[in-house]
Structures are given as C-alpha cells and as structure tokens.
Amino acid sequence: MTEIELLNWARGPGLQIATIIFVAGVVIRIIEILMLGRKPNLAEAKGSEMSAGLKTMVSRTVPDRATFKRSSFTITAGYFFHLGLFITFFMFAPHILLIRDVIGFGWPALPTPVVDAFAVITIISLLAVLVNRLTNKVMRYLTNFGDLLTWFLTLAPLVTGYIAFHRIGFTAPTLLAMHILSVELLLIVFPFTKLMHAFTLFLARWYNGAISGYRGVAS
Amino acid sequence: MSASLDKGINALKQQVDASVAAFFSSCVHCGICAEACLFYTETGDPERTPINKTEPLRRIWKSEYTLMGRLGKLLGLSKKVDDKLLADWETLVYDSCTMCGRCSMVCPVGNDITLMIRKTREGMAAAGHAPEGLIGASKRSVTIGSPMGVKLPALLAQVRHVEEDSGLKVPLDVVGAEYMLLLSSMEIMNFPEFIEAIARIFDKANASWTISTEAFEATNSGIQIGVSDIAAELVQRIVDAAEKLKVKTVISPECGHAYMAIRWDGPNLVGKKFGFKVRHVLEVLDDLRQQGRLTTTGMEKGKLTYHDPCQISRRGGVIDEPRRLIDMVSDNFVEMPDHGKMNWCCGAGGGVSANERADEIRLKVFQRKKDQFDAIRPDAIVSACSNCRIHLEDGLEEYNMDIPLLSLTEMIAEHLGDDDRAGAA
C-alpha cells in the first residue's frame, strides 16, 4: 500500500467505519442508560426537578471556591485541556471544512497561528494531567488501564495533527494519514470508555440537580 | 434476615437505574470527591475516596447493564462481586461514610456519589456485610420499635416528667390533632427537654398536637444499614398511626436521618403518596413564626453559630428556616466557613455512631469540624439533630474544647417570654 492509498483509505472507508462505530456506539450507550428508567418520586416536592436539573447541567462547570482551592491543579489543568481540545478541533479551518462537507454548514475559524498555539497548550496540559494522575495519590489509586488508554488516544490526534501541520519527519500524505487514523482510533474507542462522559455528564448533572432540586436544594 | 452473596448481588442489580448508569458512565477518576470527604481529608487514605466506595455497585452495573460489560462477562473478563470484595469494602461503605452528601455537591460531572453509596449498602447488607452495631439496631427497631431499645413505658415516664415540670399536657393519641410529633430514641432518653420545648411552643402557638403511642420512633435504622424492607416497615408504622389519628402533618424531630427517612424516602419506600404532610420541626416552627404564632422575647448572649445537620440541610432542603429562627433570638450569629449546603459533617451520621468499630475514626475526622469551629470561635453551637449533638459533644470533649451545644427548638422555647414555666414550678 502506497502512502496515497493509505491516505485515501483513512479518508474514505476508514473514516466511515470509525464514524459509524462512534455514532452507533454513543447512541446505544445513551439508550442503554435511559432504558433503565427511574422510579417516580412519591414524596411531596419542595422544588422543581426540571429547572434544578437544567441549572446544575450548567452550574457544575464552575466549582465553588473552596473546592477549587482544594483541587486547584486538577481543575485548572482540566479546564485548559478541555478548552484546548475544543478550540483545536472545532476552530481550525481545515476541520471546519470537513465538518461542512459532512453536515452542510460551518462557522468562522480562528486564525491558524492561534489554533497552533492552543494545540501546544493542550499538549502541555495533557502531559501535566498525566503527571498529576501518576503523582497525586488519590488519582494514582483510582487510575486503571482505561484512564491511560484514553489519555493516550486523546493526545495522539493532537500530536499527529501538530506534526502534520508542521510537516515534521514524514511526507505530507503519510503525516495526514497518521493524523486521520489516530482520530479514527479515538472515535472507535470513545463509546466504550470514560470518554462517554462528554455526553453522559449532562445526564448525570441533570439527575444530580433534579434529585437535590426536588428537595429544594440547589446543587 | 438471612443474608447471602446471591441476595447481595440481586439487591445491587435492583439498585441500578438510569441515574446510576449515567453516573458511572461519567466518572473520569479525577479524584475531586476525595477532597470533599472528611474521611479522606483527615486520614489522607486514598481508599476512602467517595467514588471508590461504590466499587461493588459499579461492577454490577458494568457487567450487567453495559454492552461491553456483558460481552466481557461472556468471555469471563469482568471483575466479579464476591464475598471477599464485600468484606474488604465493608469498612469503607459503613465506617468511612456518613452519607453526608458533600461529594455529590462537588463532582464535576454531577455524580450523586452519596446516593450510589446508599445503594451499595443495600447489596452489602443483603450479602451479610454490614456492621454488627447496625444489624443490632435494625433488629431492635423491628422487634422493639426503637434502635436503642426504648419502649413505650420509657416514653410515658418522660412524658410524665415533662408534664410535671411544665404544667402542660403532652397529648397522647389524640384523634384529629393538627400535628403528630415523632421523636428519636436519643431525645426520649437523653434530651427530654425537647418534648417540653415542643409542649411549650405549641401551647403558646395554640396548635393542636399529639404523640402516637403506637408510632413515636422517628429514627429508621433500615435506611442507615441499607435494607429497604426494614426501612419500609418502620415508615409504614408511622403512616398507619398518622392515618389512624387523622393528623394533618407529621413532624420529624431534631434528627437528620429520621427526616430523610420519613420526608424524602418514606413515600417511595412504602410505594404510595402520603395523605398527610411531613415537615421537619424547624419548618413547622418557621411556619408558626411566619403566621405570627411564634413570638420570642430577649436575645441570646454571645456569639452563636449553626451546625447544619447533613440530612436536614444539604440532603433535606431545610437551610434557611433555622437561620430565620436563630435571627429571632440572636443578634450575634456567625456562619462557619463552608456552611449551609456545603457544611462539613459532624462525622457520626449515616449509621457511623451506631457502629462501635467506627468510634476511633469518627473522633479522628472530627478534626475537620474542629477547624471549622476554630475559624470563628463561637460561644455556643446551635444545631437540630440529636445525633450530631451527642457526637459534637463527644468530639469537643476529645479535643478539649469547651463550647456548649444547643438544640434550636429548645433555644427558641427558652425565649417564649411566657410565665408557664414559673407558674408550673
């Protein structure tokens, strides 16, 4: 297989397969959760479930002051790499072109040097996250194979994207193929790992807010 | 109750619902919950990280309710729940968790970890891996009617004392009363002043109330140990009594988990909506205040603070009421850092105080409470849970701190400004 053939496979059938697994996997996981259902609460309510749930879906994005003080490194590094992932993925001109091809519309991109800088920041924060995971005793205790795998698979597209953009080491088609393949790997693994939290955290936060809100407490 | 691993696993399976599945699916192992838990902050032991306490339930969710988990189970790859796991987890789930709910407030993905631990207890108890102290308390609750073994004659004796001291009648089994008061065994045995306070407040407010001699115990060991059947049976007794006496409102006393049991879990345990209201005593007092039926005179001397009992504030929603009541009798009220819904637990709720094995750790983690008190140095601590009160007194003594503990209801009764007391003496 030549590098052009590899690139074409990655761009064509490879991406299709990965996307199907990703979409089907995510849908199945969410249905699998919702199908379990929840018993209706028979206690007299003190507050509203729905509005409290919706509020917590947003409010949990910001920690309270004392929590931030106690876990400042974890929280700061978390913000940086999540924001960085969002910007490098959704705000990079070539990515938006691809998205436009698929869903029919796009949005303005950030200037390429800005996205490039964010890629570096994101890579550094992910490295910091790993160091934190291996040195913080609670995180080290909780860490399993899945945590390390998802860390690696999240970092890989950033690194391959960075070196593809800067044309380091290999020829352009090979670099681009590697970048696309690393994204496909991430897509395939996504529904079956903790990466699912990108979707399910909204469910979890809603339930948390609803459970508390029903009792009249804003969580 | 005969226990077995099979029953435990079945109980765990029954606990998995959409919320639990969403919670486990979302955990990213960030460890932030550890910092919200006094059993971690005061011991530094990562095993005590809240989410780790849910491991038995997580394994069941994963292997039974996820596609990949079921596949793994078929291939023999899934992590099993066995007696060894449950035995290893017993001290984490019972001795190192008061179900205070603080972890559920900080989890960035929104997991109600406390609920998950509560559900884990259902499996632990069904499999026979619950602490002796809690098993004993639950058995006494079912057979005698009280976790501390308090029987009706003990209540009647205290009622007689209260009537002699106050000159007021403590109405028993009055049909059609507006309020039916529940009591914790702790109040009957250690704090009968609470009954007197209610008698005096309700007399002044001209509110009709009663105590049922068939169901006066408010505490519910079933929800502490995690056996829903027992919890439901204890709730049903109260429901039967309230219906028999046709009362409008059942009052949960100054006891945290009792409020959770009857107010929030109760109808769900017995499977039907109540035909009466359930209110915490502080909510009732605040209502009376609002209606102008509760007035006070005089102010407390010295700096007061309020310890929010977890099940009443964070998990129960009674947060503003105690503050409005304290404002009636104090102009020197100071909040601790992390108060209200973010207050730190006393360290003895959720069945920890009924579990002798946990005596050492509950006093160790009291350091967290001590730091909170040290930050504002109050002259007195007001609270509304007799379990908190007993343990706070224990902890203050252990740490050589001389700060009096006050019941909010009793404190309000001290300021009624009537002559009943003098007249009765």
Residue B359's H or E segment, with its range, is helix B359-364
What is the tens place of the pLDDT at every residue in B195-232? 999 999 999 999 999 999 999 999 999 999 999 999 99
Q: Which H/E stretch holds residue B388?
A: helix B386-398
User: What's the pLDDT at B422?
Assistant: 40
| Encoded tokens for B152 | 């009706």
**3-state SS record for B247-262:** CCEEEECCCHHHHHHH
pLDDT tens, chain A, 219 aa long: 899 999 999 999 999 999 999 999 999 999 999 999 999 999 999 999 999 999 999 999 999 999 999 999 999 999 999 999 999 999 999 999 999 988 999 999 999 999 999 999 999 999 999 999 999 999 999 999 999 999 999 999 999 999 999 999 899 999 999 999 999 999 999 999 999 999 999 999 999 999 999 999 999
For B140-292, CATH gives 1.20.1050
Which of B15, B78, B109 has the most A C-beta neighbours within 10 Å, making it the best mutation to test the interface with A?
A: B109
* Distance from C-alpha of A127 to C-alpha of A158, rounded to nearest angstrom: 12
| Per-residue pLDDT at B420 | 47
pLDDT band at B3 (very low <50, low <70, confident <90, very high): confident
Contact yes or no for A89/A95 (Cβ under 8 A): yes
Say which residues have a Cβ less than 8 Å from residue A14's Cβ, sequence separation at least 6: A180, A181, A184
Task: Answer whether A141 sits within 8 Å of B36, measured CB to CB.
Answer: no
Structure confidence at residue A175 (pLDDT):
96
- Does the CB of B115 have a partner CB in chain A at under 8 Å? yes
Q: How many CB atoms lie within 10 A of CB B157?
A: 12
Return the structure tokens found at B375: 């930050």
Q: Complex ipTM, two decimals? A: 0.96
CB contacts, 8 Å: A35 with chain B: 18
Q: Where are the alpha helices (DSSP H) in chain A?
A: 3-9, 15-34, 49-59, 65-70, 72-90, 93-103, 112-135, 137-142, 145-165, 172-189, 197-214
Identify whether the C-beta of residue B29 lies closer than 8 Å to the C-beta of residue B77: no
Separation between Cα atoms, residue A77 and residue A128, nearest integer Å: 7
B337: phi then psi, degrees, rounded to nearest 5:
-60, 145
- The DSSP code for B263 is I
- In this predicted structure, the answer to whether residue B380 has a pLDDT above a threshold of 50 is yes
Given CB atoms, is A8 within the 8 Å cutoff of chain B? no
- Residue in this structure with the two tokens 């292997």, named with its chain if needed: B63
Q: Which residue pairs from B40-43 have beta carbons closer than 8 angstroms and sit at least 24 positions apart in sequence? A: B40/A138, B41/A70, B41/B368, B42/B364, B42/B365, B42/B367, B42/B368, B43/B361, B43/B364, B43/B365
Residues in chain B closer than 8 A to A208 (CB atoms): 104, 107, 110-112
Give how far B337 is from chain A: nearest CA, Å.
Answer: 9
B72 exposed, middle or buried (CB, 10 Å; 0-12, 13-18, 19+)? middle
Which secondary structure element, helix H or strand E, spans residue B242, and what is its range? helix B228-245
Query: How far is B106 from B112, CA to CA, in rounded Å?
Result: 9
Edge-to-edge order in the sheet of strand B249-252: B209-210, B179-181, B249-252, B277-280
The beta-carbon neighbor of B110 closest among A29, A60, A74 is A60
pLDDT of amino acid B62: 97
pLDDT digits (tens, 9 = 90+) for B140-190: 999 998 998 899 999 999 999 999 999 999 999 999 999 999 999 989 998
Question: Are B112 and A208 in contact (CB < 8 Å)?
Answer: yes
pLDDT in the model for residue A144: 96
Structure token digits, residue A163 = 């070196």
Would an 8 Å CB–CB cutoff place A76 in contact with chain B? no
Contact A44 B106 (CB under 8 A): no
At A57, give phi and psi (nearest 5°): -55, -35
Of the residues B13, B26, B320, the best mutation for testing chain A's interface (the one with the most A CB atoms within 10 Å of its CB) is: B26
Closest-CA distance of chain A to residue B22, Å: 5
Q: How many CB pairs under 8 A join A and B?
A: 176
Query: Chain B, 316-345: which have a CB under 8 Å from a chain A CB?
Result: 316-317, 319, 337-338, 341-342
Q: Can you list the alpha helix ranges (DSSP code H) found in B99-192?
A: 102-106, 113-126, 132-143, 152-166, 185-189
What's residue B418's pLDDT?
64
Whole-angstrom distance, CA of residue B326 vs CA of residue B300: 9
- What's the confidence (pLDDT) of residue B417? 81
Q: Say if the Cβ atoms of B29 and A194 lie within 8 Å.
A: yes
Q: Tell me: domain B304-413, CATH 3.40.50, correct?
A: yes
The long-range contacts involving B167-172, CB below 8 angstroms and separated by at least 24 positions, are B167/B420, B167/B423, B167/B424, B168/B196, B168/B199, B168/B200, B168/B203, B168/B420, B168/B424, B169/B199, B170/B195, B170/B199, B170/B211, B171/B208, B171/B209, B171/B210, B171/B211, B172/B210, B172/B211, B172/B212, B172/B213
Q: Measured on CA atoms in the order B94, B98, B104, B108, is the torsion positive or negative? A: negative
* Interchain CB distance below 8 Å, B25 and A29: yes
Please give the Cα distance from B259 to B214 (Å, whole number).
19
Read off the pLDDT of residues B110-136 as tens digits, 9 standing for 90 and up.
999 999 999 999 999 999 999 999 999
B residues 341-370 near A, CB within 8 Å? 341-342
Best of B16, B30, B270 to disrupt the A interface (most A CBs within 10 Å) is B30
Residue B381 phi/psi, 5-degree rounding, is -110, 125
CB A192 within 8 A of CB A25: yes
State the average pLDDT over residues B355-361. 95
A positions 154-193 inside 8 Å of B (CB): 192
- Going by the DSSP 8-state scheme, the letter that residue B417 receives in this structure is -
- Rounded to an integer, what distance in angstroms lies between the CA atom of residue B181 and that of residue B280? 10
Instruction: Please count the residues of chain A.
Output: 219
Residue at token pair 């009249």: A216
The predicted pLDDT at position B245 comes to 98
Q: For chain B, positions 48-77, list CB contacts with chain A under 8 A.
A: 49, 51-52, 65-68
Closest CA to B215 of B184, B245, B238: B238
Residue ranges, comma separated, of all CATH 1.20.1050 domains in chain B are 140-292
CATH architecture of B5-129: Orthogonal Bundle (1.10)
Neighbouring CB atoms inside 10 A of B304's CB total 21
Q: Return the residue matching tokens 């090979």.
A: A174
Tokens standing for residue A57? 């879906």
Longest dimension (CA), chain A: 68
Radius of gyration of chain A (CA): 20
Q: What is the pLDDT of residue A193?
A: 96
- State the Cα–Cα distance between residues B173 and B181, nearest whole angstrom: 11
Residue B1: predicted pLDDT: 53
* pLDDT tens by residue, B241-254: 999 999 999 999 99
- pLDDT, residue A1, reads 83
Strand, coil or helix: B124:
helix
Beta strands of B150-307 (E only): which ranges?
179-181, 209-210, 249-252, 277-280, 304-306
Give the span between the Cα atoms of B419 and A85, in whole angstroms. 71
User: Tokens representing B351?
Assistant: 């069945």
Q: Which amino acid is at B203?
A: D
Q: What CA–CA distance (Å, rounded) separates A168 from A122? A: 19
| Phi, psi for A28 (deg, rounded to 5) | -60, -45
**Contact between chains at A207 and B22 (C-beta distance less than 8 A):** yes
Whether A142 and B31 lie within 8 Å, measured CB to CB: yes
Q: Would an 8 Å CB–CB cutoff place B309 in contact with chain A?
A: no
Kindly list the residues from chain A whose CB atom is less than 8 angstroms away from the CB atom of residue B112.
207-208, 211-212
Angle, helices A112-135/A145-165, rounded to nearest 10 degrees? 150
Q: What is the pLDDT of residue A58?
A: 97
Interface test with A, best of B54, B78, B112, B321 (most A CBs within 10 A): B112
Nearest to A56 by CA among B115, B263, B106: B106
**Is residue A23 a contact partner of residue A178, using CB atoms and an 8 Å limit?**
no
Chain A contact for B209 (CB, 8 A cutoff): no
Please report which confidence band the pLDDT of residue B424 belongs to, taking 50, 70 and 90 as the band edges. very low
DSSP string of A7-41, one letter each residue = HHHIIIIIHHHHHHHHHHHHHHHHHHHHTT--PPP
Element (H, E) at B58: helix B55-65
